[in-house]
Amino acid sequence: MKKIVSYNINGIRASLRKGIDKWMLCYNPDIVCLQEIKANEQQFNVPLFNEIGYNCYLNPATKPGYSGVAILSKEKPLHVEYGCGIHEIDQEGRLIRLDFSNFSIMSVYFPSGSSGEIRQNFKIRFLDFFLQYIISLSKTVKKLIISGDFNICHKSIDIHNPTRNKNTSGFLPEERDWIDSLIELGFIDTFRYFNIEPHNYSWWSYRANSRAKNLGWRIDYNFVSSELKSKLVGASILPDIYHSDHCPVVVQIAD
């Protein structure tokens, strides 16, 4: 069985100061998809993760201290795909994919549109491109896991105040419809496959003591293609793990 974690760490250096390496050693995931690493390879402390058993594959942003994704894996992949070939996306370090013999896994950091119209427009362009990218990729990569910070709450159950946030980036109708489009392609929201309960969130604002009050958003996902449905063993969110304003989200798949 493979235990797979997706985690927006809001900076690898900050999360290391909070002991993420020690948590990984204890929790013992097979694969960790990280988003918002905010570091290049030298700043990431690759030797530390090598020491605890992980091969590290990074796609940092060109801009220092910004964005960036990584996948840490105990098993070495057959192939690593860095980025997607679109300059405005790749310069922000938003995608990386590892191919193994029985599945492929992608760590993706979707843009946020919360800072204003320019970034929201970029987010919508990203969504349009990414869906086409996945449609094309699915022709050759049949067993795909898409892990990451999508910066979108899919349903009212996924956000603490859906009425107040109905016009907020991250919960706009066109963004929520995009998640529907991904599901229509056959991808499964693994957490909701196992759990339909409310009040399960993966990100909380640092303001107003939001995390203690569980006033959160579920914006981090592990989606799997339908070809992996029979391999699903479990999925969970770990809100008590504190290295970031996000928490880890987990999926377990049979070998």
Across the chain, mean pLDDT equals: 97
Residue 80 confidence (pLDDT): 98
pTM exceeding the 0.85 threshold for the entire prediction: yes
Q: Which residue among 149, 158, 189, 220 is the active-site one? A: 149
All residues at 6 or more sequence positions from 146 whose CB lies less than 8 Å from its CB, including other chains: 106, 108, 134, 182, 187, 221, 222, 223, 224
41 and 13 in contact (C-beta within 8 Å)? no
Q: What percent of the chain has pLDDT over 90?
A: 98
pLDDT tens for each residue of 167-206: 999 999 999 999 999 999 999 999 999 999 999 999 999 9
Q: How confident is the model at residue 100 (pLDDT cuts 50, 70, 90)?
A: very high
pLDDT tens for each residue of 8-59: 999 999 999 999 999 999 999 999 999 999 999 999 999 999 999 999 999 9
The CATH number covering residue 98 comes to 3.60.10.10
149 is catalytic: yes
Residue 51 confidence (pLDDT): 97
**In the chain, how many domains are there?**
1
> In terms of residue numbers, what domain contains 201?
2-253
